[in-house]
Chains A and B, each alone.
Chain A
Amino acid sequence: MRADAMTALGALRGRVGVNLPAGLTRHLGLLAVLLLVGLITAWNSSAFLTGANLLNVSQQVAVTAVLAAGLTLVMTSGGIDFSLGSVAAVTAGVVARLIASGTGEWTAALAGLAVGAAIGFGNGAVVTVFRVAPFVATLATSTVLGGAALLIIDGQSVSIGDHLDELGFGEVLGVVPATVVVAALVCMATGLVMRWTAFGRNAFAIGGNENAARLAGIPVARTKLLLYTVGGLLAGLGGVMLVARLGAASPGTGGLQLELTAVAAVVIGGTALHGGSGTVAGTVLGVVLLGVVANSLNLLQVDAHFQDVAVGGVLLVAAVTNHLRGRFR
């Protein structure tokens, strides 16, 4: 009798807050904020809702989206990677150098991806083998790589001419920029991995309860290693996209700014910092929201320095909202 009552209570609790279709309730608030910002901007600036502007925004967020997708995977497993922006910078430098020295453009791009994956693997090894806290380990590699990126390009801009044009300026079906297509494919693939592969579900289990996952025979170390490798690989892809779009690797490409935007987008998207929950859909919404806010401040001719203030503000509000939602459900 009492057991029944308890079960009913448990189920009721489940029904009230925790288990509505995750994709829907979870991101309604974020979607509303995005629409609100869009409406306000469109009201005040006729340039916002034009095709050219929206394509511009989507191109600007494409690189962030690719990095943030990888970061979502890592953060779902309870880890974090602060070096993704610097990995992108290093990759961009390596690709530009290789192309400038006469290597084939796609060979150079592949080498860039390999460099990214290798750095990610290194991060994963430090975290799993030496049990260094991911925050510290990747902050250290981030600093190292930030310097390395400048060393690789010798502190100067290295041009790639019109190489990698198809990626940087190509258009699919005549309208959609190639970088946006790549970003969309990456995000969709990440979403599928997180839902339908044992690897993706293991990331959730490890983030939700690493002890239980280990006892259940889930290969915790191997999964983490692979997660950081995938994160690095996607950051490498981001670097290739960056250099293709900018036509050169310059000091200040990628780096900390890109990294922090990606972290902010993932957190705004509702991925728990302690792991165990997260969606790519949320991350994409977070990336788009940050892109739209930046664009809107541009169009409304707000002082550029306010943009950082705005990004930080959005992040803070999102983090507080996530905390409150966790507490009151």
Chain B
Amino acid sequence: MSGPAAPPVLELRGVYKTFGGAHALSDVDFALSAGEVHAVVGMNGAGKSTLVETMCGAIVPDRGAVHISGRRHTALTPRRARASGVSIVHQKRSLVPGLTIAENLLLGRLPTRFGAVSWREARREAARALGELGIEIAVDRVAAALGPAEQTLVEIAREVHRGRRILILDEPTASLGAADAQRIHRLVRSLRARGAGVVYISHDLDEVLDLADRITVLRDGKRVVTVPAADADLPALVRAMAGDGLRKKIHDAVRAAGEPVLELGGLTAGWLRGFDLAVRAGEITAVLGPSGDGQAELFPLLSGLRRAESGRVRIAGRDVPSGDVGAALAAGMRCVTGDRLGHGLVPGLGVDENLDLVRRGLRRPWLVRWSRMRGHGRDARDRYGIKAIHADPPVAALSGGNQQKVLLAAWLDTGVTACLLEEPTCGVDVAAKADVQRLVGGLAASGAAVLLASSDVDEVAGLADRVVVVRGGRTVADRPVAQVTCDELVALTAGGRTP
């Protein structure tokens, strides 16, 4: 194992990148040596993705340069980066599900004899590629039959087999259990032993401390510090990630919480195992936890898209039948998706009609009254601050912030008793973010029970009254936000295992 002292194989010097006025990266230096695991940590929006996209050529920096194996690249493209031996394995797995492991490993480069694929040789070569890395998976299994961890292992093996010496792993263990994560860790260690350089992105700080040689902390697009992992501990990392600014932001407006309005009892479905939760009127409760530990199941369950295996949902004292969208809506439950164009809005239809969608679903009228719809639309646009100069543009033509406001207005403008908001300020600029947060605060003030599923610590600290942490499908912590320090909050959201 050559230590960090060896000359870097991948180096970024003074990299700047601006997106529409916001500094995604400013003056960031980064160096990776052969045989090193270099972790990058930071909160949401700290610039981790921009940094790795820069390394693999998907983003060209405004200033600064990327050096690969000592060669300076000013116009790096993904193709050139791959040719220089840099590869990224994304969190979203990309094997071809219907093909075997051997075919996936040798995709586009199957060995042939006289023009026909030589399957025997392909299997042998694939088995050797996996065996060298100590991965034990039969090569004639179909990719779709593999678990998520095994798919990641195969993807990494594919990049190594293609001769890449610098691997960027983007949250490879997110949503994996401990045993599966261990398999990934073993592979990363064996890559290091073979002299490859690994850039490791993770939200799990314990994992990072355990696995990495060096750790770089980003905050607000700047490199805060780069330290040997041996010299770092969890509190220090959290402090570096959160900075001092956060401490003051916990809101002090105390809302008077009323009766419990949204009650979940023993809810079991998917990852959730006997999940209990009660949210009172006028209370904003944030649900946190590592992704894949169950909090993402709440959306399909509460909205009625999926039926629970057991357990019950009560809204305002009445049981709501499981798996019935209409019943959930009629009971005053509103689930606002974090995927506004995928599950929330109809992009091709106008703003006014989108604003009317939930009302139409609730009341099921026979006829559409356009003049009344336009009236409602004008009214909602004023109140929610949806700005569009044109009369009624299709939602697809709006900016992200305005789309998000249309989404919230459509769902929250019709007699809300309880609501679940997924990432309400995702992909929204700063001004719109403040607007949206004001809306959510107003919703609670008007007596609705609000469940907030957000991975933005600022937002949780600024909005929530109470924090609930879900892990392994169960509630492991339930505390008023005032009793949670910001460091803990960061650790909880980031998924450190010792809050």
Q: List 30 A-B pairs, Cβ < 8 Å.
A: A3-B387, A3-B432, A6-B401, A7-B389, A11-B393, A14-B388, A14-B390, A15-B389, A19-B350, A19-B390, A196-B367, A196-B368, A197-B366, A198-B364, A198-B366, A198-B367, A198-B368, A208-B347, A208-B349, A209-B343, A215-B305, A215-B325, A215-B343, A216-B329, A216-B360, A216-B361, A217-B329, A218-B357, A218-B361, A276-B346
Interface membership of B431, Cβ < 8 A: yes
Q: A204-B346, A209-B347 are in contact. Are A197 and B329 (CB under 8 A)?
A: no
> Nearest A residue to B343 by beta-carbon distance?
A211
Are A276 and B390 within 8 A (Cβ)?
no
Are A19 and B399 within 8 A (Cβ)?
no
Interface membership of B345, Cβ < 8 A: yes
Interface residues of A in 158-205 (CB under 8 A from B): 195-202, 204-205
Of B325, B368, B390, B397, the residue contacting A217 (CB under 8 A) is: B325
Chain B: interface size category: 35 or more
Instruction: Note all chain A residues with C-beta closer than 8 A to B343.
Output: 209, 211-212, 215
Interface membership of B269, Cβ < 8 A: no
Instruction: Note all chain B residues with C-beta closer than 8 A to A2.
Output: 20-21, 429, 431
In the bound assembly, the distance between CA atoms of A199 and B364 in angstroms comes to 9
Interface membership of B344, Cβ < 8 A: yes
Interface membership of B245, Cβ < 8 A: no
Shortest C-beta distance, A287 to chain B (Å), equals 24
In the bound assembly, the distance between CA atoms of A199 and B397 in angstroms comes to 25
Interface membership of B224, Cβ < 8 A: no
Of B357, B365, B393, the residue contacting A216 (CB under 8 A) is: B357
Contact flags B328-358 to A (C-beta < 8 A → 1, else 0): 0100000101000111111111100100011
In the bound assembly, the distance between CA atoms of A159 and B494 in angstroms comes to 78
**Chain A residues engaging chain B, CB cutoff 8 angstroms:** 1-4, 6-15, 18-19, 195-202, 204-205, 208-209, 211-219, 276-277
Instruction: Note all chain B residues with C-beta closer than 8 A to A204.
Output: 346, 348-349
Are B349 and A219 within 8 A (Cβ)?
no
Interface residues of B in 397-432 (CB under 8 A from A): 397-399, 401-402, 410, 429, 431-432
Interface membership of B322, Cβ < 8 A: no
Shortest C-beta distance, B414 to chain A (Å), equals 10
In the bound assembly, the distance between CA atoms of A9 and B393 in angstroms comes to 12
Are A212 and B345 within 8 A (Cβ)?
yes
Instruction: Note all chain B residues with C-beta closer than 8 A to A4.
Output: 387
Interface membership of B268, Cβ < 8 A: no
Shortest C-beta distance, A197 to chain B (Å), equals 6
Instruction: Note all chain A residues with C-beta closer than 8 A to B402.
Output: 6-7, 10
Are B366 and A10 within 8 A (Cβ)?
no
Are A10 and B348 within 8 A (Cβ)?
no
Are A197 and B367 within 8 A (Cβ)?
yes
Shortest C-beta distance, A62 to chain B (Å), equals 28
Extra pairs beyond A2-B21, A198-B360, A212-B343 (4, CB < 8 Å) = A7-B402, A14-B397, A19-B391, A205-B353
Instruction: Note all chain A residues with C-beta closer than 8 A to B392.
Output: 19
Are A7 and B367 within 8 A (Cβ)?
no
Q: A209-B345, A212-B346 are in contact. Are A14 and B360 (CB under 8 A)?
A: no
